[in-house]
Amino acid sequence: MSVLASSAVVASLQEVKGISFPGDIRPGQILVTGPPGAGKSTLIMRLGGWSEEGYLDLGRKHWWRSEILAVRPREIHLGMPFIGLPSAAAVFDGEFLQSTPFPPVDFARIILPPGKRYFFSVDWYRRYVFEFLLPPADLLLARRTARAQESTHPIDSQISLAICAAQLDVFRRVAEFLHARGFYVYHRETTDCPPQRFVTAQSQP
């Protein structure tokens, strides 16, 4: 069982194309993720980042070397191992949505990169910066309900507040986990909100 870490607004900021970011990162490091309806594509378009979505399976060996990470900033969908599911799934996949109750993330099956050992070796924990967009569940529901009326996203055909809340909780806990393991992670509710960092590392899945 994990204890959610507390957060604080980032003190030193820079502005990139009208959006506030932590002052100690480069836009070319950013990987934007979050639950469906969080605003990932909108943020990437405003930044002028890579337009195609990427899928990253955190339970796959060497995911940090994936070619989809070569071009940044980029929107990524996370595939995650869940307790009771044999393979990784995204929160919009049927394996997750059709489970009752929704399965928790199996953090023991998330594979982590090796630490930097030599001067010329890659520091994978600082190579990427994870931005998690984490709007409130009711805002996610409102956005996805509006999208469903336009039939632009098939994953919005069946949506509820319970689904939005469960998907949001998954991403919040994964963000905290990656932070606690040494990755550079920050989060915000919407693109117009200031970025926040976790200020504790109490999560022990």
* 5 in any annotated domain: no
* 10 in any annotated domain: no
Q: How many domains does the chain have?
A: 1
* 8 in any annotated domain: no
Regions of the chain with pLDDT less than 70: 1-4, 200-205
Please report the pLDDT score of residue 56 as a whole number: 97
Report the b/e string of 36-62 with b at 16+ CB within 10 A. bbbbbeebbeebebbeeebebbbbeee
- CA–CA gap between residue 17 and residue 69 (Å, rounded): 22
CA torsion sign for 166, 169, 175, 181 is: negative
pLDDT digits over 159-180, tens only? 999 999 999 999 999 999 999 9
Please report the pLDDT score of residue 200 as a whole number: 66
Please report the pLDDT score of residue 95 as a whole number: 96
- CA–CA gap between residue 88 and residue 65 (Å, rounded): 18
11 to each of 42, 51, 155, how far by Cα in Å? 25, 30, 37
User: Residue 59: which CATH number?
Assistant: 3.40.50
Please report the pLDDT score of residue 204 as a whole number: 40
* 3 in any annotated domain: no
The candidate with the shortest Cα–Cα distance to 141, out of 125, 158, 129, is 158
* 92 in any annotated domain: yes
* 6 in any annotated domain: no
Report the b/e string of 104-124 with b at 16+ CB within 10 A. bbbbeebeebeeeeeeeeeeb
- Structural domain boundaries, residue 69: 23-198
Please report the pLDDT score of residue 177 as a whole number: 96
pTM of the model: 0.92
* 9 in any annotated domain: no
* 16 in any annotated domain: no
Asked whether the beta carbons of 35 and 164 are under 8 A apart, the reply is yes
